[in-house]
Structure formats: C-alpha cells, structure tokens
Structure 1
Amino acid sequence: MEKPVHFARLQQEESQGYDRKTIDYIHAAAQRGLYEIRGLGAKRRVPHFDDLLFLGASLSRYPLEGYREKCTTQTLLGTRFASKPVALDIPITIAGMSFGALSANVKEALGRAATAAGTSTTTGDGGMTQEERRSSKTLVYQCLPSRYGFNPDDVRRADAIEVVIGQGAKPGGGGMLLGQKVNPRVAAMRTLPAGVDQRSASRHPDWTGPDDLAIKIQELREITDWEKPIYVKVGATRTFNDVKLAVHAGADVVVIDGMQGGTAATQTCFIENVGIPTLAAVRQAVDALEDLNMKGQVQLIVSGGIRTGADVAKALALGADAVAIGQGVLMALGCNSDTYFKDGALHPAAAEYAALNTAPGYCHHCHTGKCPVGVTTQDAGLEQRLQPEEGARRVRNYLKTLNIELTTIARACGKQNVHHLEPEDLVALTVEAAAMARVPLAGTSWIPGLANV
C-alpha cells in the first residue's frame, strides 16, 4: 500500500538536534578521536551590531551638513596615569595578532597602514619584530601568559603595553601555533624548537589573581617610568566584575574582546561555545566603569566582530572609546580572496584553496600555514604573495572607509564628535539585542528587562 504524502515528506525532514552538520561532526569524531582546530571566529549566529539601527536626525534633532561641517574623530587613550597617553586620529585600532600566526610581511604592512591612518597596531604572542616597530608610529606591546618573546627592552620601545588576560575567541584558554608555522625565526623569538607545535599558557605564570595583576602593572609602570599607558585585555565572560578588577588593579585602558573575535588556531568547540557576544559585553563594561565613577578616566576599547563603520559607530554609541579590529583587517589584506597580488598583477588562488578542501569565502585554515594569499603563513613562497606595500595600501583604505562611514553616521545623528554618539541614538530590531544593548525595541519605548518609563 502506498504511504500517505505527508509521510513521504517526513522522510526528508532534517532533525533539529541531529542535522547534517551535527552528524558530520559525530562521524569525524568517531573516526579520528580528535577535536577540530581552526582559525578565525565563531560562525554561529548571535545577537550583534547588525541588530541595532540608528535614529537619524529629523525635526527633533538637527543633522550636520555633509562635508561642510566637521565631525571630530581624535581619540586619546591612557589618560589615567600615563604621562604620555596614546593620541590617535581615529578611534579604530588594529588588534593584537602575533608574528607566527601572521607573516613578517603582514606585520610590517599593518604597521605601515596604522601609521598612514593615524592609529595604532598591536604586537601579539611571540614578541615584537624589527619590521613592525620600524613601520609603526604607535605600537602597543602585548604581555601575554606565555611570555614568548617578552623583552623589557621592547616594553620600553613600545608606546603602550597591553596585559592580555584572555581573548574573545577562547577566554580561559591558551593559544596554539602548530609546528608547520614555527620556522627558525619564530622559534628563535620564542626560545622554542622549530617545527614543533607550541601551546601558550592559559594564565600568567607569576600571578593567581587581581592583586598580582596590580603588582605586574606596577612593575610595567616602573620599567617605563610611568610614561606608557597600560591596557588590560579580557575575553568577554563575567565582564562587569572583570572590568572592575582591572580598574582596581590600575589599568589605564580596558579592552573587552567579545566571542566574535578571531584566533589563528584553537578548538572549534571553544570558539563556538565559550564567552558572550560583544553586544552583551559593551554595556556591562560601561556599567562597571560608571559604577566606579571611572567613565572617561579609564578608556574602553571594544573588539570582536567589528567589521564596518556602522559597527564602529554602534560600539561608540554604546559607550566604547575606541574599537580594535583583527579579522576585518585580515580580510582587507586579502584573506578569503580568490586572487593574490604579486609582481604587479593579480593571480588566481582557487587551486590552493581546493588543496585545503575549501574555497574563497569559506576558508578558516589559518592554523595550517598554507594560506593561499600569504597572510597567515611562514612559508617563504606563500609569504611573497603579500608584499608590505600592497598590504598597507589595502588596510589603510579599509580603515579610511570605516572612518568615513563612522563620521557619516555621526553627522546624520547631529554629532560634531563621534564620541558624542550615545545609546539614545539607537534602537534594536530584536528583543535579545534590545535587552543586551539596553536600547528600545524599534517602534516602542520598551527596553526588555527594565521597567517602562
């Protein structure tokens, strides 16, 4: 007897709990007995800046006139204790990414781009390269749990120091650099053997809590004669408490990295399941600063999924003083592009992507060192696919575009300074985003979780 039509349809219905992606994961785990390692950031959908909209000026607000009325973007970071705070032309900075994860050419390109755009770039695990310091007008030097390549002389040569407690893509976890990316130069800077997988520690070796962080900050201030701002970077988890502790420890600047932040290599289960969205973290961080009456004295940098000028504007409106961008910068360099630039011409990269069993737009194989466009590699041949001059040009253009978009939105909201953007300029498209950002649901005065006023 023929089955009813609705039964036939059910035979092709995908399970919500065991969809094809989950089944593939289980099959792979059963076959290999190993977890997946990959690069970049979370792929799952979480509430994000896309879920917010600006309320442009109309009768109740007066907009600025196009390009004839200026909108200021100057940004000052580290004003609390440092005698030489960091002065930037734009509130958009380049996040910390290591030499090892990235090639030496890329680190130089980022320094050149940041200098041209009037902003800062940041080192990363493994220390400071000479190319990076030479090309960067303003360079932030990271002090990480691994202490790979950490050098007091480089601390003095930096313009600011960032003490990294955690990273948005893997808060509570350490870094990874697989052996195929540990060439002799990388190994020498980290004082480790070449060609061997390297795992970075998940916590600093010389402290167990915030009191020890205060001691470390004091040491760094003494090394730099109290000149350089001290940033403290945390992955977004218990953000309210973490920001308070960082401020109590003496931070000049707090960096909050949401779960959409990227990484060169870590476990997929970590990337997708640990941490909270950037959108949720921003307001918690601002609450902590306001609770301590330190808003304006301690600056807040937000990172994790910042891609466009609109994202920057929304982060500033929610209370950030600046943003830091990692993955977006890599994309600007050519990450996931179907071509690479070499010898004055564009060349197709499809074959190299295919060799990694992926395609442009889908690649997350930063950990392999086989980057088809020469961004996340230590292979001498692949590295030549991204020259510092061309990389710097592309990143500078990207940062310039973001800044133009930022000021365009600020003008439309009637602001003469991008730092005057405020939560009142925003509404949310979803209940979740409204609750996290604490702005009204569009078309209403309702902020979920707060009493109606």
Structure 2
Amino acid sequence: MDTQPLPVKHLSREESYGYDRKTLDYIRNAAAHGLYEIRGMGAKRKLPGFDDLVFLGASLSRYALEGYREKCSTKTVLGTRFAKKPIELDIPITIAGMSFGALSANVKEALGRAASEMGTSTTTGDGGMTPEERLSSKTLVYQCLPSRYGFNPDDVRRADAIEVVIGQGAKPGGGGMLLGQKVSPRVAGMRTLPAGVDQRSACRHPDWTGPDDLAIKIQELREMTDWEKPIYVKVGATRTFNDVKLAVAGDRKAVRFIANLLDQVQGG
C-alpha cells in the first residue's frame, strides 16, 4: 500500500485558501473604486427556483383526481369573504412589488402586460402607481408600505387589491435604499422628495406597532375603498409561526384580511 503523502499545492500571492480568485477580484475592485454593497439582480448565492419545487401528491387527506377525466384547476380567487369585488387569477403565481425608481416606467408597463397575458396580477411597489402599469395591467395590486412614498388614496381606489407590506424576503426587518442616481425628477415628484438624493425606505410602519394597530389600518383601507378591494398582508419568512399567529389574532379583532403572503429569501 502506497503511504506517500500527497503533494501540497503551494498558493501564489494572488490566491487564498478561504477565497477564490473571483471573490478576491471583487474585494480589490471594491477597495479601489468604492463599490456599494447593496445592488439589484437578486441574491449573490444560488437559491431554489421553479425547477426545485416539490408538489405534494394526493393520497388520503386529499383525494386524488383521475387525470384523464377530471380537471385540475389552478384558478385562484382572493377576497370572497369580505371584498365586494374579489380578484380571480388563472394561476397561483403573481409578480411581486418593485418600486418605480428601481424599475423604469417601461419595465413597469412590460410587467403589467406579461401578468395580463398570463392571467395573474402584478404589484406597484414603493413610489406609488404609474399610469403605464395601471393601463397595461388587468389586475393590479397596490402596496401600502412603511415609507408611504407615493401613497395616493385615489390610486388605491383604482387598484384591484391592496397589499399591506410588513417585510420582504430579501431583507426582512430592514428598510430599503434607492440610490440618488435613480431618483429622476419624475420619481422624486411622485415621492415628494428631492431629485438626485439617496432615499431610504423605513423598516416599519410609522403609525402602528402590532396586530391591534394593523386592524385599525386595514379598517381604514376598507373604508377608503368602500369594502370593494381584497386586502392581504405581506411578511418576510422569518419567525413565521409567531408572525402568522399575531396576524390571526388581529383577524379576530376585525382585521379581516384574506391571506398572509410569505415572501422568501430571493424576494426583493
């Protein structure tokens, strides 16, 4: 049996046991040019995608359908309990909210068209509703965010549903930052803030701190829309059990929202 030790690879000055060359190159560029750590394009590490979904098959608790003679529908209806005008989606997959500023008006319009073609909804995001996305979206969800940037009661009434945002998967418990280079005069005007200046979004709502206050806020939104719009709450998937428990407690105190949307890691 050969007991000779394996040869040791000697690293050059440009390499490291802890970091590969790509990481070292990023660190050097950041040190030389001051690269900002917060940027778009999703997470930096590989995360599960649609190809990783595992569907629960039917057995005893959920009776199986005969595929050749029984149809399986993906239609999803939201708001049947309390909203006068529930929304109906062809698929249970929606386009999450992204701010006007982070995205251009053209992209917001494109998302609206794509969602309409697929029979689902798209969402406004921080900064308010643009005319382009309202005209191109068959079903548009209006976000009520902690920052209240661009929040407009008239636009709330023009939307098809309301999403109360408590947190998002990319940074639950944290706010947001729109760099000044993206704050054009139009974006600044909708947010009533100066153009060209970094704009930070708050990490929590300024007018409530718990389920009791959440109930009051949703009651305000219902009265604002004459009880027409479905309302649901979006939370980052963190302390999910306790968060949903508090949301349900708020429901017993007349919150009456239809669902909790759990936003995962990649959602930003």
TM-score of the pair, normalised by structure 2: 0.82
- Structure 1 position 80, deviation (Å): 3.3
Q: 1:142 to 1:62 in 2, by over 3 A?
A: closer
Structure 1 residues 56 and 152: alpha-carbon distance in aligned structure 2, compared to 1, 3 A threshold: closer
Equivalents in 1 of 2:27, 2:115: separation in Å?
43
Partner of 1:351: none
Counterpart position of 1:9: 9
Q: Which sits farther off after the overlay, 189-198 or 5-14?
A: 5-14
Q: 1:34 to 1:203 in 2, by over 3 A?
A: farther
Helix, strand or coil for the counterpart of 1:128? coil
Deviations 1:215-269 (A, max 9, x none): 11111111112221111101111111112222332221211111122x3xxxxxx
| Cα distance in 2 for residues equivalent to 1:50 and 1:134 | 32
Give the residue type in structure 1 aligned to 2:106: N
What secondary structure is seen at the aligned counterpart in 1 of 2:154? helix
Q: When the two structures are aligned, how many residues end up with a matched partner? A: 253
Matched residue, 2:61: none
Q: How big is the shift at 1:130? A: 1.2
Answer whether contact 2:168 2:263 (CA < 8 A) is retained: yes
Structure 1 position 11, deviation (Å): 4.2
1:56 is displaced (CA, Å) by 7.7
Counterparts of 2:219 and 2:133, CA distance in 1: 26
Deviation at 1:103, TM superposition (A): 1.3
**For the residues of structure 1 that align with 2:11 and 2:86, how far apart are their CA atoms?**
64
Distance 1:46 1:225, change over 3 A: same
| AA of the residue aligned to 1:64 | G
Residues 65, 72 of structure 2: 8 Å contact kept: no
Matches within 5 A, 1:29-40: 36-40=37-41
Letter in 1 for 2:265: M
Which residue matches 2:248?
Answer: 247
1:64 aligns with 67
Q: Is 1:76 matched up with 2:82?
A: no
Show the counterpart of 1:307. none
Aligned equivalent of 2:117: 116
Residue identity opposite 1:111 in structure 2: G
After superposition, where does 1:314-325 map in structure 2 within 5 Å?
none
Equivalent pair of 2:97/2:124 in contact (CA under 8 Å): yes
Q: Percent identity?
A: 78
Once the two structures are superposed, residues 21-51 of structure 1 have per-residue CA deviations (whole angstroms, 9 ceiling, x without a partner) of 5545655665567751211322324567655
1:72 Cα deviation from its structure 2 partner = 1.5
Identify the residue that residue 179 of structure 2 maps to in structure 1. 178
Q: Spell out the pairing of 1:291-370 with structure 2 (5 A cutoff).
A: none
1:237 to 1:188, Cα distance in 2 relative to 1, 3 A: same
* TM-align CA RMSD: 2.9
Cα-to-partner distance string for 1:298-342 (whole Å, 9 max, x where unaligned): xxxxxxxxxxxxxxxxxxxxxxxxxxxxxxxxxxxxxxxxxxxxx
The equivalent residue for 2:234 is: 233
**Which ranges of structure 2 fall in alignment gaps of 5 or more residues?**
59-63
**Per-residue deviation, 1:133:** 1.4
Q: Quote the residue 1:274 is aligned against.
A: none
Q: Give the distance between the partners of 2:242 and 2:49, measured in 1 at CA.
A: 22
Is residue 267 of structure 2 the alignment partner of residue 257 of structure 1? Answer: no
CA distance in 1 between counterparts of 2:51 and 2:117 reads 29
Larger relative contact order (CA 8 Å, sep ≥ 6):
1
Q: Is the 8 A contact 1:82 1:252 kept in 2?
A: no
Structure 1 residues 137 and 53: alpha-carbon distance in aligned structure 2, compared to 1, 3 A threshold: closer
Paired position in structure 1 for 2:98: 97
Question: Which residue in 1 is equivalent to 2:205?
Answer: 204
Tell me how far 1:145 sits from its aligned partner: 0.8
Matched-pair contact (CA < 8 Å) for 1:160–1:230: yes
Aligned counterparts of 1:9 and 1:208: Cα–Cα separation in 2: 57
User: CA separation in 1, counterparts of 2:55 and 2:184?
Assistant: 48
Aligned counterparts of 2:166 and 2:52: Cα–Cα separation in 1: 29
Find the counterpart in structure 1 of residue 108 from structure 2: 107
The change in CA–CA distance for 1:123 and 1:79 in structure 2 (over 3 A counts) is same
Q: 1:31 to 1:254 in 2, by over 3 A?
A: same
C-alpha distance in 2 between matches for 1:182 and 1:145: 19
Q: Distance in 1 between matches of 2:76 and 2:166?
A: 24
| Offset of residue 6 of structure 1 | 3.4
Q: Does the CA-based 8 Å contact 1:229-1:253 persist in structure 2? A: no
In the aligned structure 2, how far is the partner of 1:49 from the partner of 1:109? 21
Offset at 1:115? 2.3
| CA positional deviation for 1:135 | 2.0
**Native 8 Å contact 2:97 2:125 kept in 1:** yes
Q: Deviations over 1:67-99 (max 9, x none)?
A: x76332211112332232211122221111121
CA distance in 2: counterparts of 1:205 and 1:213, whole angstroms:
11
In structure 2, what is the Cα distance between the partners aligned to 1:102 and 1:147? 18
AA aligned opposite 2:196: G
Which residues of structure 1 form unaligned runs of 5+? 264-453
Distance 1:104 1:49 in 2: 27
| Cα deviation code 1:163-200 (max 9, x no counterpart) | 11111111111122111211111111010111111111
Over 3 Å counting, the alpha-carbon distance change for 1:11 and 1:102 in structure 2 is: closer
Report the AA paired with residue 88 of structure 2: A
